Amino acid sequence: MSVTCPKCGSRNLRYAHLRTQSERLWSILGIRPLRCRSCYCRFIERTWRISTMRFARCPRCWRMDLSRWSRNDYRVPFFRGLLLSLGASPYRCEYCRVNFVSFRRRKEKYDPQKRKAKRRSTQKHPENHEMAG
């Protein structure tokens, strides 16, 4: 999901409390109040997209680039084990480190090289400025 904070641009968001009756009604359609965990800005945004409803997403941060985890590596609670035995897939969000199960397939596979490249491109490197000059 590409929802970002309008104030600081962070993707570290959470659902905010529903304050009014109209917010409760809009939440049925997927338009929810969100709060940025970085700058505490509260805003209302559409969190459901029709095009992405068929894919699994992290229940905490809504990212869709997920990796998988093994039942041998973690103690699986009973209900998750039951879902896994019924055919659900074990997914892990590497950004917020949440393990969960879903019957939906993943849209993007988590790629640590892609994350490192994105992090490097956003940082300023003094070497690049010396080479340009």
Residues 72-104 pLDDT 10s: 888 888 998 899 889 999 998 888 888 899 888
For residue 21, what pLDDT is reported? Answer: 92
- Identify the band that residue 128 occupies on the pLDDT scale cut at 50, 70 and 90: very low
Full residue range of the structural domain in which residue 89 is found: 49-113
Residues 42 and 61 grouped into a single domain: no
Q: Quote the mean pLDDT of the chain.
A: 79
Query: Does any domain span residue 70?
Result: yes
Query: Does any domain span residue 67?
Result: yes
Residues 108 and 90 grouped into a single domain: yes
Residues 53 and 107 grouped into a single domain: yes
pTM of the complete model: 0.56
Amino acid at 6: P
Amino acid at 132: A
Residues 75 and 101 grouped into a single domain: yes
What totals of helices (H) and strands (E) does the chain contain, helices first? 4, 9
pLDDT(107) > 80: no
